[in-house]
Structure 1
Amino acid sequence: MATRKTAARRKSKPKHAYRLLVKLEGSEPTVWRLISVPGHMTLADLDRIIQAAMGWTNSHMHLFAIDGNLYGLPDDEWIDDKPVLPDDEFTLDEVVGTTVKGFLHEYDLGDGWHHDVTVQAVELPDEGRNSWPMCLAGANACPPEDVGGLGGYEEFLQAIGDPSHEQHDAMLRWCGGPFDPKSFDINSANRAIRDWLSERL
């Protein structure tokens, strides 16, 4: 449920629009997306935009590391030296501003998908051009959910790429059919972002 503070921020106008290059660390071929996000959106919103653009399904926890602070879903049972701040209470305008040049987004704390996020540009908001989140470009498919991190993904690609591999048929069934690691459809990425936006409103 949105708090009054969060709801008020959603109605506020952005101070900036951010062009962010999101790269999945260690992926081969490199999985990347270029996204544009208005600054009044929260870090929780940014997590869902990254997931939609990449192809993740919001099935796991996430975490941001920005300028020495951690943002995500605070968990009283998870004891750490640094507290996790609630990411639905901080906007990009507040946290990234005009000085932060890059940060880390981790999705699925078990498989450990680390996204290196580079701030490529901080623009003035333009209602007709960058006032809504969108995917501008990208390359290569993100790994399937629960594949087992980078090591599991490498084994998965070996299995589906070799019809003689003992796990070939099992992996095809598991992922629901053929998988092309070099595929990327910008229309599907933006459709996923629009679907999330419609659910959020």
Structure 2
Amino acid sequence: MSERDYYQVKMTMSDIKPPIWRRVLVPSNITFHKFHKVIQAAFDWQDYHQYVFKFPEFLIIEPSLEVPLKEGDKHPKRTKIDTVFEEYDHFYYEYDLGDSWEHKIEVEKVVIVDEEKHTPICIDGDRNRPPEDVGGVPGYEEFLKTISDPTHEDYDFMLTWAEKDTGGRKFDPDYFYKNEINRRLNRIKC
């Protein structure tokens, strides 16, 4: 076994109660692009929207025609997390700039992990993330109201629509299964 520094990071979705969160151990020398992949796997996002890491003085963002890099911004494939985590103990990650799923990222501590495979590891969390393209926090609140009322005219439609995110399972807002998350994280080689 070889020892390696990992960051213990807590990721909590903003503006949703009760909170949806994950605590993950992340290898210290990965890029922000790889860290984006870790967040995607930890929450089981589908990874087909743009993302941005927000810091007080700069953004870490993959440039596009809609969002070019500005002076001071950093590219996620060229910026390692340890160069930034040493200075910032919390910041924000936004996924899907339309629905605006914001996650507060808290760098809790550095730990030594005996790990041969060098993959991220989920150690805790709670609740299922919202379905993709549900319309942000207000759309998610409406979705939850609809699926909690079997007499609602859109009840069956919304549950069937959400199966695109659940692999055919009935959507359960309280669903959290650490082993499933770790299987996804295990595919991210760091």
- TM class by shorter chain equals 0.7 to 0.9
**C-alpha deviation, 1:75, in angstroms:** 2.2
Aligned pair in 2 of structure 1 residues 95, 108: CA closer, same or farther (>3 Å)?
same
Identify the match of residue 32 of structure 1 among 21, 32, 35.
21
Task: Map 1:1-201 to 2 at 5 A.
Answer: 16-78=5-67, 84-97=73-86, 99-123=87-111, 125-128=112-115, 131-176=118-163, 178-197=170-189
Give the superposed CA RMSD.
2.4
Query: Structure 2, unaligned stretches of length 5 or more?
Result: 164-168
How far apart in 2 are the matches of 1:156 and 1:32? 19
**C-alpha deviation, 1:28, in angstroms:** 2.0
Aligned pair in 2 of structure 1 residues 31, 57: CA closer, same or farther (>3 Å)?
same
How far apart in 2 are the matches of 1:80 and 1:195? 30
Give the counterpart letter for 1:134 in structure 2: I
Aligned-partner SS, 2:77: helix
Q: TM-score, normalised by structure 1?
A: 0.83
Aligned pair in 2 of structure 1 residues 56, 43: CA closer, same or farther (>3 Å)?
same
How far apart in 2 are the matches of 1:17 and 1:44? 17
Match of 1:9 in 2: none
Residues matched between the structures, number: 184
- Greater mean alpha carbon deviation, residues 74-83 or residues 104-113: 74-83
* 1:63-89 deviation digits (Å, cap 9, x = unpaired): 001352101211244368656421011
% identity of equivalent residues: 34
Given that 1:40 and 1:93 are in contact with CA atoms closer than 8 Å, whether structure 2 keeps it comes out as yes
- Greater mean alpha carbon deviation, residues 112-121 or residues 71-80: 71-80
**C-alpha deviation, 1:48, in angstroms:** 0.7
- Greater mean alpha carbon deviation, residues 177-186 or residues 77-86: 77-86
Give the counterpart letter for 1:19 in structure 2: Q
Aligned pair in 2 of structure 1 residues 128, 101: CA closer, same or farther (>3 Å)?
same
**C-alpha deviation, 1:128, in angstroms:** 3.4
* 1:16-40 deviation digits (Å, cap 9, x = unpaired): 4210010000112210000111111
Query: Structure 1, unaligned stretches of length 5 or more?
Result: 1-13
Aligned pair in 2 of structure 1 residues 92, 143: CA closer, same or farther (>3 Å)?
same
Aligned-partner SS, 2:74: strand
Aligned pair in 2 of structure 1 residues 161, 116: CA closer, same or farther (>3 Å)?
same
Aligned pair in 2 of structure 1 residues 18, 169: CA closer, same or farther (>3 Å)?
same
How far apart in 2 are the matches of 1:96 and 1:74? 22
Aligned pair in 2 of structure 1 residues 90, 15: CA closer, same or farther (>3 Å)?
farther
